[in-house]
Structure 1
């Protein structure tokens, strides 16, 4: 038994091949492509279909608040129960359904035949919250798999790098899809605007789901790596991190970076269309220019 454990630990410290790394990188494509669409076009979409800027901001805020809480709970539950691929698959399903419900139109408004702005805002906010809950479950499960797939530090770097590479692929894919849709469909009427964003959302989901399916079929469920040669390490309490200066340094750097990126991403489309009076396709073309950066 001891020999088997040692052999397994030796295998887990070996570098991964190219294909396992490649398949792992695909796993976050749905999250990346929908998140890119979310921050780029959500506010623009909601205001173009008639919501006030305040109500549109409420929808966005509800999603971000849900994401903040869901990330914490998802991490705790995954630590306790494992089953990364189940969490990933369930989260991806929530992302696909709720994302299509937001950009596909207000479904509850149609069901209850309501044209109330308050009801519409609440409906969009509910789906925004569900989207971010699913997004958090997928993100946490996918990121935490790195530590369990291998103990080899070089392979862990390769896994994270491949994941980041597919993030850029997702962004470029979204803006390519958006450029085609905005060029083909002229969004002059309310119906045309809805069709534009509906097609962008549906095509983005199809692309992302294809990559997620490949990831789930090609990646084995990882088991928890307890250490080399059977070494068991005690679980670190979450309070421990609040006592580390490095935690605050990394958190501050990440928060400020995401703030700049998200604000720029959310408001650039308004500037391009409302202030510069550029063509509809510029909403995708301008973003595509900055995407590799």
Structure 2
């Protein structure tokens, strides 16, 4: 990545200096609650809802209600943060909402208990309401945390470092979830409905506790960003939405970011169904296979923090990650259950691909914003809107078709291709291919007035 040289000038702005490790680590910990609950949401929500008796179509409605609430909240929150600032206040409020509501999503149908009814319609409504509340809090926390990157520092290298550290903590959160899940599934090893409810309840409660511990670390260790306050004190006019809509790069980054999130979220949601139902692996694989993916992602994220970066390298590493997903998707599509142990090798490739694509896609957002700080929250909010809405629609469509017998029995080369196999094998591969094409057309050069040099991320 590039960094400005002042050539000995004494008026170098302090906000262009590289950030220290503690500042970067403190910032990265701030999304842990969101990450661990999101991982639980995408990995186990559909499984949980179908296990407790909801039909696949009703479970899909619950998932969609949360995604739609998340999508629209990001737009409004982005606008409010751009107007008023106070990133940490928004972050704290969103985190409280997440912690309170998430336990209710996996805690059973509250309206059903109050009304003493087990109607499937009432169950669907009850779960959908708390799913929507949870996602509203999640969106508030996400937008405030992501928008802080551009307001913490003007140094482009440190911005990539913050994104990479954030992704590393995402991997830690996911590993934490799967460690919790593996322990819970081992202790409560039963298929009875009561024990299934207890399993997911413990997973949810322990996840919330772990995530809240890291939120406290973030709130104590991270200072409220000063760059936005400086902009407001200078009476710099707020950037309108139309400013971004006139930029070709905005649409390119939006498409690449949305496709990247679609890849990671859809694959995470369908993975448990695939390894259990299609490959016939042991129940513990619901935790072990995703754990391998996130261990590899964590390792790659740490490596990325220590590299020298340029705009060309961001595009190149994203392309490498997308190519890995194309081959992984093809492998998933043709893998027979008799060779299910090859799924562990595919998990390694998927983990590396996810880290490469997520870190570089978020870095593209930061490059798009540049120094236009009075509109940064709208950019992150609007791109998250597209991400959440597209993911919700995709998962709703896939889960709804689960009940169609002729789709489930579709065979190719002697292999039964269920919806999880088709969705996990084809959707990420197609999205990865399109994202490669779009990335090749981008102009990500930093337009700076002074001479630039490369420096390592955590210098």
Q: TM-score, normalised by structure 2?
A: 0.59
Alignment of 1:185-200 (within 5 A): 185-200=188-203
Does residue 279 of structure 2 align to residue 276 of structure 1?
yes
Partner SS state of residue 115, structure 1: coil
Tell me how far 1:231 sits from its aligned partner: 7.1
- Encode CA deviations 1:108-158: one digit per residue, 9 max, x unaligned: 211221211111111110111111110110011111112222223332222
2:59 maps to which residue?
Answer: 56
1:34 maps to which residue?
Answer: 37
Does residue 38 of structure 2 align to residue 44 of structure 1?
no
2:371 maps to which residue?
Answer: none
For 1:135 and 1:214, the matched residues in 2 are separated by 18
Tell me how far 1:40 sits from its aligned partner: 0.7
Does residue 108 of structure 2 align to residue 90 of structure 1?
no
2:22 maps to which residue?
Answer: 19
For 1:33 and 1:222, the matched residues in 2 are separated by 25
Q: TM-score, normalised by structure 1?
A: 0.91
- Encode CA deviations 1:185-232: one digit per residue, 9 max, x unaligned: 11310011011111111111111000001111121222334779x976
Alignment of 1:1-293 (within 5 A): 10-225=13-228, 233-291=236-294, 292=297, 293=351
Tell me how far 1:278 sits from its aligned partner: 2.6
Runs of 4+ with >4 A deviation: 230-233
Is the Cα contact below 8 Å between 2:37 and 2:208 reproduced in 1? Answer: yes
2:396 maps to which residue?
Answer: none
Is the Cα contact below 8 Å between 1:109 and 1:120 reproduced in 2? Answer: yes
For 1:158 and 1:253, the matched residues in 2 are separated by 20
Tell me how far 1:19 sits from its aligned partner: 1.0
Tell me how far 1:275 sits from its aligned partner: 3.0
Q: Structure 1 residues 143 and 244 mapped into 2: Cα distance closer, same or farther (>3 Å)?
A: same
Unaligned runs of 5+ in 1: 1-6
Is the Cα contact below 8 Å between 2:85 and 2:228 reproduced in 1? Answer: no
Tell me how far 1:182 sits from its aligned partner: 1.2
Tell me how far 1:54 sits from its aligned partner: 0.6
Partner SS state of residue 144, structure 1: helix
Is the Cα contact below 8 Å between 1:182 and 1:196 reproduced in 2? Answer: yes
- Encode CA deviations 1:20-39: one digit per residue, 9 max, x unaligned: 11111100000011111111
Tell me how far 1:284 sits from its aligned partner: 0.5
Unaligned runs of 5+ in 2: 1-9, 298-350, 352-459
1:4 maps to which residue?
Answer: none
For 1:152 and 1:44, the matched residues in 2 are separated by 43
**Alignment size in residue pairs:** 286
For 2:11 and 2:29, the matched residues in 1 are separated by 26
For 1:220 and 1:259, the matched residues in 2 are separated by 32
For 1:263 and 1:210, the matched residues in 2 are separated by 28
1:3 maps to which residue?
Answer: none
Is the Cα contact below 8 Å between 1:187 and 1:196 reproduced in 2? Answer: no
Partner SS state of residue 28, structure 1: helix
